[in-house]
C-alpha cells in the first residue's frame, strides 16, 4: 500500500521531534549542576539523594549542610520515618545478590534505629533476656477441711498462690536483607514456682475433704505442711515471612515442658502421720503460627509485639505415692498422646538503643497452656492404700497462665 507524502512527512517530523526531546532530557539529567549554574550563575543546588524505593514512588531525601540525609519536612531520616504498609522489598530491587541488598531495601523491624549501623542492615540478631514470671493458682477444689468457725483455716488448691520464678530467654535471628524474611531459634526456662502452705494448730483436727486424697477419706491430723512446685522450659524454631515493612507472619515448631509437683506431710501428736505426693510431667510437641510486628519506631525507642498460638501433642505422665505407718503404695501412669493441648503466647517489648548495634529491652511476657495434667487434678482419682490393690488414672483437664516481665539486651552484627 502506498503511503501518502503528507503522512510520511508527518511521521518523520514526529520521530525527529521525539528523539530531540529525549536527547535533551538525558542531557539535563546528566548535568543538573551545570544547567543550574548557567541559569542562575550562583552556587550549585544541593545534591539529591534518592531513597532506595524512589523508583516505586518512595520518598526522596536531600542532604543538609552537615551531610545528614533529611526528608522533605527537614527532619533527619530515622527508622520510624519509613514505616509504611508497603512490602519489605521494592519491586525494582533487581540485584539482591548479597552485596547489593543494602542499597535496595527499605528499613524493616529488625533494623537499627539510625546512626552508623543504620545502613549496615544486620544479618544476625541476638537477644538475651531475664524473665521474672508469676503463675496463677492451680485448678481444683477443697483438699483439707479446717475449723468451720475459722474461715480459711483449711486448704484449697485455688489458695496455693506461688512465688515468682526467674529464668533466661535466648533468641537468635538470621535475617535475609534482601527479602526481609528471617529464621529464629528461641529457648526459655523458668524454674521454682513455689507455694508453701503450713496448717497450724486449731481447736479441732483437720480432715481430708471427701473423697479424700487418693480415696483415703476420714484421715485426721493436727498440723500439716503442703508444698506445690513447678517449672517450665521451651524451645522453638520459627520462619518469619515478611508481609509488610512492619509485620511478619511466623510459623514453626515448638516444644514445651511443664512439670508440677504437689506434696503434703501431715502430723498427729507431734509425729509424722501421712505423706502424699503427686508429680506430673507434660511434654508438648506441635506447631504454631503468629505475627511479629513493630508498633512504633522513633530515633529513641521502638515497640515490638508478638502473638503466637499452636496445637500440641501432649506426652504426659503422673506418679503418685502414699506413705503411712512405714508402708508405701505408689502408682505411675503415662499416656502418649495424653490429649491435644493448646499454647498461646503474647509479648510487648520496648527497645531503647545504647549504641548503634546494642539495645536494652524491657517488656511483658505471657504464656497460657491448657489441656495439661496437673497434680491437684489427679488427687481424687487415685486409689492408694498400703496392702490393697492400686488404681491409677491420669487426666489432662488442667491449665496454667504464666505472665511477667523481661529485661535484657539485643545485639546486631
For residue 301, give its domain range: 124-412
So what's the pLDDT on residue 318? 95
Contact 244, 294 (CB under 8 A): no
What confidence category does residue 110 fall into, taking pLDDT thresholds of 50, 70 and 90? Answer: low
Alpha-helical runs (H) found in 31-141: 32-40
- Asked if the structure places residue 355 within a domain, the reply is yes
Residue 141 has a CB neighbour count (10 Å cut-off) of: 11
Q: What is the CATH number of the domain that holds 203?
A: 2.40.128
Q: How many domains does the chain have?
A: 1
For the stretch 65-101, pLDDT in tens is 444 444 444 433 333 333 334 445 444 433 344 443 3
Percent of the chain with pLDDT over 70: 70
pLDDT tier at 175, thresholds 50, 70, 90: confident
| Residue 152: inside a domain | yes
Cα angle at 308 between 307 and 313, to 5 degrees? 165
- Answer yes or no: is pLDDT of 54 > 50: no
Interval 234-275: pLDDT, tens: 999 999 999 988 899 999 999 999 999 999 999 998 898 999
- Residue appearing with cell numbers 477443697: 142
Model confidence pLDDT, tens digit, residues 27-37: 333 333 333 33
Q: What is the pLDDT of residue 228?
A: 96
Strands 60-63 and 358-372, how do they pair?
A: unpaired
pLDDT in tens, 339-370: 889 999 999 999 999 887 889 999 999 999 99
Q: Assess if residue 382 is contained within a domain.
A: yes
pLDDT at 412: 83
Task: Report d(CA 233, CA 223) in Å as an integer.
Answer: 35
Residue 6 has pLDDT above 50, yes or no: no
pLDDT at 121: 56
Q: For residue 404, tell me if it sits in a domain.
A: yes
- 18 occurs within a structural domain: no
C-alpha 219/C-alpha 125 separation (Å) is 58
Task: Give the model's pLDDT for residue 410.
Answer: 93
Look at residue 48 and tell me whether its pLDDT is greater than 50: no
Q: Would 253 be classed as within a structural domain?
A: yes
pLDDT digits (tens, 9 = 90+) for 116-171: 444 445 588 999 999 999 999 998 889 999 888 887 788 999 889 899 999 999 99
pLDDT at residue 259, as a whole number: 97
CA distances to 14, 35, 99, 183, 256 from 342, in Å = 71, 68, 43, 23, 11
In 157-270, the DSSP E strands lie at 165-175, 182-199, 206-208, 220-221, 223-242, 247-268
pLDDT, residue 88, reads 53
Q: Are 168 and 188 in contact (CB under 8 A)?
A: yes
Average pLDDT over residues 272-298: 94
Give the residue among 148, 141, 263, 262 at the shortest CA–CA distance from 206.
148
Q: What is the C-alpha separation between 19 and 30, in angstroms, rounded? A: 17
> Could you tell me if residue 106 is inside a domain?
no
In a domain, 28, yes or no: no
Amino acid at each position: 500500500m502506498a503511503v501518502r507524502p503528507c503522512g510520511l512527512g508527518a511521521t518523520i517530523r514526529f520521530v525527529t521531534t521525539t528523539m530531540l526531546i529525549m536527547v535533551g532530557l538525558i542531557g539535563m539529567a546528566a548535568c543538573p549542576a551545570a544547567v543550574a549554574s548557567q541559569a542562575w550563575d550562583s552556587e550549585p543546588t544541593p545534591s539529591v539523594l534518592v531513597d532506595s524505593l524512589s523508583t516505586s514512588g518512595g520518598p526522596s531525601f536531600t542532604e543538609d549542610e552537615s551531610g545528614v540525609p533529611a526528608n522533605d519536612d527537614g527532619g533527619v531520616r530515622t527508622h520510624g520515618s519509613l514505616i509504611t504498609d508497603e512490602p519489605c522489598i521494592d519491586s525494582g530491587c533487581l540485584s539482591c545478590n548479597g552485596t547489593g541488598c543494602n542499597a535496595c531495601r527499605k528499613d524493616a523491624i529488625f533494623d537499627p534505629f539510625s546512626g552508623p549501623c543504620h545502613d549496615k542492615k544486620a544479618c544476625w540478631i541476638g537477644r538475651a533476656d531475664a524473665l521474672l514470671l508469676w503463675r496463677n493458682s492451680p485448678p481444683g477444689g477443697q483438699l483439707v477441711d479446717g475449723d468451720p468457725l475459722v474461715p480459711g483455716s483449711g486448704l484449697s488448691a485455688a489458695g496455693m498462690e506461688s512465688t515468682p520464678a526467674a529464668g533466661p530467654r535466648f533468641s537468635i535471628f538470621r535475617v535475609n536483607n534482601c527479602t526481609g524474611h528471617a529464621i529464629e531459634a528461641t529457648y526459655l526456662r523458668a524454674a521454682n514456682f513455689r507455694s508453701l502452705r503450713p496448717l497450724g494448730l486449731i481447736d479441732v483436727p483437720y480432715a481430708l475433704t471427701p473423697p479424700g486424697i487418693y480415696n483415703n477419706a476420714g484421715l485426721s491430723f493436727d498440723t500439716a505442711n503442703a508444698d506445690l512446685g513447678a517449672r517450665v522450659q521451651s524451645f522453638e524454631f520459627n520462619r518469619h515471612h515478611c508481609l509488610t515493612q512492619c509485620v511478619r507472619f511466623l510459623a514453626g515448631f515448638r516444644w514445651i515442658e511443664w512439670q508440677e509437683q504437689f506434696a503434703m506431710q501431715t502430723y498427729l501428736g507431734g509425729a509424722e502421720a501421712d505423706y502424699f505426693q503427686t508429680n506430673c510431667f507434660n511434654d508438648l510437641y506441635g506447631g504454631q503460627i503468629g505475627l511479629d510486628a513493630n508498633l512504633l519506631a522513633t530515633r529513641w525507642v521502638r515497640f515490638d509485639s508478638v502473638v503466637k498460638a499452636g496445637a500440641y501433642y501432649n506426652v504426659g505422665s503422673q506418679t503418685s505415692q502414699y506413705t503411712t505407718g512405714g508402708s508405701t503404695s505408689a502408682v505411675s501412669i503415662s499416656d502418649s498422646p495424653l490429649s491435644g493441648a493448646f499454647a498461646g503466647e503474647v509479648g510487648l517489648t520496648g527497645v531503647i538503643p545504647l549504641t548503634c548495634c546494642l539495645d536494652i529491652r524491657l517488656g511483658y511476657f505471657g504464656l497460657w497452656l491448657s489441656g495439661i495434667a496437673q497434680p491437684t487434678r489427679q488427687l481424687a482419682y487415685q486409689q492408694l492404700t498400703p496392702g490393697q490393690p492400686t488404681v491409677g488414672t491420669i487426666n489432662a483437664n488442667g491449665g496454667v497462665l504464666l505472665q511477667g516481665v523481661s529485661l535484657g539486651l539485643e545485639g546486631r552484627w
